Amino acid sequence: IVSGRATTDSWQDIAPFWYGRWDEAAQAHHVAGNAQRNSEAAGVFGSEGAFAPDATRTALALFGQPVLLLAGEVDLNSPPPAVAETARLFPHAELVVQPGAAHFPWLDDADRFTAAVAAFLG
C-alpha cells in the first residue's frame, strides 16, 4: 500500500481489520458487501459539500428521542472514543462498547449485540 493510493488489492488486504475475527462468516460477509457496493452513491456521499457539520450538530442537539450508539471495541473505522464523542452530541444517548467486536458487531457476536439492543429497547 502506498500512502494515498489505495487500490482494490489494498482494500482486500486490510479487510480482516474490519472484523473481530476473520472466520468464514466474516469472509462471506465481506464478499457479499463488495458485491452490493454502489460506487456512484458512495462517491456522492463523500463528495465536496456533502457535509454541513454545524447544521448536523444543531440537529442532533435538538433530537429529543433516546439514541443507542453501539461501538465495537476494536473497530478501526469508528473507534469507541470517536463514537463516544458522537454520543455527546445527542441529549439522550447511550453508548455501548461491545468487547471483541469491530465494525460489524452483530456479526462478531450476535448474541451480545442482540442483548445490548434489546436492553436499550426494553
Average pLDDT, stretch 68-92? 97
Cell of 77: 473505522
pTM for this model (two decimals):
0.81
The residue among 101 and 12 whose pLDDT is bigger is 101
Domain ranges of the chain: 8-121
The pLDDT, as a whole number, for residue 94 is: 98
Q: What is the pLDDT of residues 20-56, one digit of tens each?
A: 999 999 999 988 887 777 888 888 887 888 889 999 9
Task: Supply the pLDDT for residue 115.
Answer: 98
Q: Which helix (H) or strand (E) holds 55?
A: helix 53-62
Domain 8-121 has CATH 3.40.50.1820: yes
CB atoms within 10 A of CB 32: 9
pLDDT of residue 48: 86
